[in-house]
Amino acid sequence: MIRLYETPLCPDCIEAEKKLKEKKIVCEQINITETITNLKEFMKLRDENAAFDEIKNKGQIGVPAFLKEDGRVVFSVDEL
C-alpha cells in the first residue's frame, strides 16, 4: 500500500488528500505531527532518500510525500 506522509498543518497536504478522495486512491496516512514516532519515521526517509535532495536544498519539508510500493518517493497525486 502507498504510504502518505502528511500533516494537517500543511495546505498542500490538505489538497493532496482531496485529490486522493476524488481519484479513489487509498493510502496509509502518516501524520508526521501527530507523534514523535511518525516524525522520526519521516525524517529517516527524508534523510536517506535522494528524492528529497532538491526539496531540502530549497529549505522545504517535503510533505506531502508518497512512498510507493516499489520504494520510490513522489510528491504529487498525479505521479501515483
pTM, two decimals, is 0.94
Q: Model confidence at 7, in pLDDT bands (50, 70, 90)?
A: very high
- State residue 54's pLDDT score: 97
Burial class (CB in 10 A: 0-12, 13-18, 19+), 40: exposed
Say what the pLDDT of residue 77 is: 97
**With bands split at pLDDT 50, 70 and 90, how would you rate the model's confidence at 75?**
very high
Domains of the chain from N-terminus onward: 3-74 (3.40.30)
CA torsion through residues 39, 44, 47, 48, sign: negative
Segment 24-64, tens digit of pLDDT: 999 999 999 999 999 999 999 999 999 999 999 999 999 99
